[in-house]
Amino acid sequence: MVGSNNGTITTRTFVTTIDPLDRTSFATVGAIIDYVAQMTAGLTGAMHFVGEATIPIPVNSHVDPQIMGYTFRDAQMGDVILANNA
């Protein structure tokens, strides 16, 4: 139930799947997670931030950036690393 400015009470349904055209129901957290996962399923190669390199990386080199929790030999398409070229 949802209150309003004039004091009336409106009931809304909780749904476990999202219908983008339904503007009257409330989606559960699980429904939102599932919907976002479904809508972004084809973006496996999309860019994603990995971290900042802890050592200088020369241009066009294959130097391991040495980022905690990241193994350069397991790099995936879309990995974005801030180079430390100091």
Q: What is the pLDDT of residue 1?
A: 59
Contact of 32 with 14, CB cutoff 8 Å: no
Contact of 31 with 61, CB cutoff 8 Å: no
Q: What is the pLDDT of residues 16-54, one digit of tens each?
A: 888 888 888 888 888 888 888 888 777 766 788 888 888
Task: Round to whole Å and give the CA distance between 71 and 4.
Answer: 53
Provide CB contacts within 8 A for 41, sequence distance 6+.
none
Domain spans of the chain, in order of start: 2-39, 44-86
The mean pLDDT value of the chain amounts to 82
> DSSP label at 38?
H
Q: Which residue type does 2 have?
A: V
Contact of 19 with 35, CB cutoff 8 Å: no
Percent of the chain's residues with pLDDT above 90: 0
